[in-house]
Structure 1
Amino acid sequence: MLKYLHIKNFKGWKDSGKIEFAPITLFMGSNSSGKSSIGQFLMLLKQSSSTDRKTVLFLGDSNSVVELGGPVDMLYEHNTDAMLEFEYRWDIPELLTLSMLSNTDNAEDYIVNSITFADKIAVRDKEIQTLEVEKMIYHLHLKDQSDFSVGMERVQKASSARAYKTIAENYEIKRVLGRAWEMPSPYRFYGFPDEMISYHQNAWFAPQLNAAHENF
């Protein structure tokens, strides 16, 4: 279940603040106060999870649930220099056991009971309004263990405009020897690419996090 949502620079919201959710949540306010934008944002995330993997956010078409136009129409005050930022937390209905290593005999499993996901998305080409993930990170809240975080961040000075690096807190991501290449871009707005596994010794949990995000 979704526990809270925080949005910045989306439509009429410069900063929504932390919006907490319950099993039944009602939004009340005057006209044009931003109530409908919250629902549109959640539907945007949902429809973006079932489109082409290279599309960061699917802003919609005539057949989609929401149609937001282009990035300039989606961003607060139509400011394409601003980044769309959002964060949300959800509970895992059935505890998620993450496999950290390919050799399960030596693996230390992590039991996850909830996840906080944070994302920053920027317009990288003002002409064609291309969206790119600037930074995404999963904060994993564990049962009986210390929390840790893992994600990806765009490399500012790199040979490729879509080059990324892996980031982590309270967990050491170990590279496979001889594979010091830059990471490709995430898929959609949340997904670790396949190279997350092939470039690292202890990142076999990546597909599990992708699936957990798609299923929540």
Structure 2
Amino acid sequence: MLASLYFTNFKSWAKADLVCSRITGIFGTNSSGKSSLIQFLLLMKQTKDATDRAVSLELNGDLVQLGTIKDAIHQHDETLSIDFSLAFKLEHSLSLSDPSNKKSAVIAEGNVLSISSTLDVQNKAPTATKLSYSLDHLTFELAPKVQGGTQFELKAKSTSEAKTDFSFLRTPGRVWQLPGPVKSYGFPDQARTYFQNAGFLADLEAEYEVELDHLFYLGPLRDPPKRDYLWARSRPSDVGQKGERAIEAILAATEAGETRNLKYKSRQRPFQEMIAHWLREMGLIESFRVAEIAEGSNRWQARVKTSVGASEVLLTDVGFGISQVLPVITLLQYVPEGSTVILEQPEIHLHPLAQSGLADLIIQAATHRNVQIILESHSEHLLLRLQRRLAEEAIKPHDVKLYFCDAPKGTSILMPLEVDLYGNIRNWPDKFMGDAFNEVAAAELKRIERRRQDSR
């Protein structure tokens, strides 16, 4: 699970500092930098997936298209550095051992892993110039010997004097110079060659990659429904950025006989029944199923009933909002437990009642399926349902982090919202979700004025 995100000088952000929880909601005005927060995380995943180890940031790929580093860096100022830090709360404790110690002593152990990196612009491209990982009381840092230099040194730093210190031991022979970081998160292969006890560095990198592999994304623009779907019996990793693989995911889970339940020790339901349950809870349909057109055809149709007694129709023949929220429901039920799901505008094309029901789906996935959700939203109804459930103690305040983004002078700022035990937001920002009370009051005053004029 992502515990925190920090970065500097990316797009409209001079600095962003985000502490995350099971549910992290990002709200704000248009063009306030909300999407850039998500883009930075996707940039990290895209860089991890890139095949070119010499590229420190993969700016253009399947997840994000950012142009050149001049386009991506704050105020297009290539003299600035991009610093970032990610912290993860691991599902299991990570243990590092010193192979040079005869007893293979554990030098660090914990379930919070942090990575920090600095990237400068060199030859019009981002280049990693500093890298460190922290676990328990130790930080392992690769940095230039002199400021701006090309020769690097590897050091271990302890934050606790009470624990045994650790230092890297050079392999006997010629003293070779270390190059800089690989991509933005990897130690060079030479580090493990030049030092006798640096093999565990690969464990740190591998754990970071695993965390990014468990990060899934669904964008705001989703594919329209089709009258039928071809399924080649494959199992997708997710539903696709536009939800284009949602039906494939449903079929794969159905074929595997997967079941889900709504809460601990409740009845296990077939996967498709769980999808239908949430569509019904949102007031969108009465029933839902995906069925093969003809046995052996491998062509499938999504069919729904909108109400009790209604005829079954194709997904294409009902309201557009159903097909737009279907990937959201499917993704939250489909991904492995312990995953992090990023949702942009999950409420798009939904009426207010369904937006409120969407909040309950998110709460269920976060508290019961142990899925972390990071969402960017404009929905007042989703937020109000979250606040209500906090008041009802369906979710704890420490499991919800809410933020408001704004860019009053072109530079984005992030305001953590203070949510109390009863779901109240103590520091409600001005023009956060519009001003419904004043709108109603102004309308009623105008009605009174018009009645007086009409009575004369």
Same fold, judged at TM 0.5 (above):
yes
What corresponds to 2:104 in structure 1?
A: 107
CA RMSD of aligned residues (A): 1.8
2:142 matched to which residue of 1?
Answer: 152
Structure 1 outlier segments of 4+, above 4 Å: none
Matches of 2:144 and 2:73 in 1, distance apart? Answer: 20
Could you say which residue in structure 1 is the equivalent of 2:199?
Answer: 204
Q: How does 1:12-161 map to 2 (within 5 A)?
A: 12-16=12-16, 18-51=17-50, 52-61=52-61, 64-101=62-99, 105-109=102-106, 110-125=108-123, 129-141=124-136, 147-156=137-146
Q: Do 1:133 and 1:154's aligned partners in 2 also have CA atoms closer than 8 Å?
A: no
* Contact 2:129 2:180 survives alignment (8 Å): no
Does the CA-based 8 Å contact 2:170-2:196 persist in structure 1? yes
Q: What is the count of residue pairs matched by the alignment?
A: 202
* Identical-pair percentage: 31
* Aligned amino acid, residue 183 of structure 1: L
Q: CA deviation at 1:102?
A: 5.4
Unaligned runs of 5+ in 2: 159-165, 212-456
| Deviations 1:147-202, CA, capped at 9 Å, x for gaps | 010021134479xx643211321232222232421112221110112211111122
Q: Secondary structure at the match of 1:27?
A: strand
Query: What residue identity is the alignment partner of 1:39?
Result: I
Contact between 1:4 and 1:88, CA under 8 Å: does it hold in 2? yes
Asked whether the 8 Å contact 2:130–2:181 carries over to 1, the reply is: no
Q: Secondary structure at the match of 1:42?
A: helix
- 1:144: which partner in 2? none
Residues 157/25 of structure 1: CA separation in 2 closer, same or farther (3 Å cut): closer
Residue 8 of structure 1 corresponds to: 8
TM-score (norm: length of structure 1): 0.87
Structure 2 letter corresponding to 1:21 = C
Distance across 2 between alignment mates of 1:2 and 1:10: 19
- How far 1:133 sits from its partner (Å)? 1.1
**Higher Cα radius of gyration:** 2
TM-score between both structures, scaled by the size of structure 2: 0.42
State the SS of the aligned residue for 2:116. Answer: strand
Offset from partner CA, 1:96-122 (integer Å, 9 cap, x none):
12132156x431123231111111100
Tell me what 1:214 maps to: 209
Whether the 8 Å contact between 1:98 and 1:112 is mirrored in structure 2 is no
Structure 1: how far apart are the matches of 2:147 and 2:96?
33
Once residues 34 and 75 of structure 1 are traced to their aligned partners in structure 2, the CA distance between those partners, rounded to angstroms, is 13
Give the one of 129, 153, 157 matched to 1:165: 153
Gaps of 5+ in 1: 142-146
* Residue of structure 2 aligned with 1:192, choices 177, 181, 187: 187
Q: What amino acid sits opposite 1:164 in the alignment?
A: F
Give, in whole Å, the separation in 1 of the partners of 2:145 and 2:95. 30
One-letter amino acid of the counterpart of residue 151, structure 1 = E
Equivalent-residue separation in structure 1 for 2:60 and 2:147 (angstroms): 32
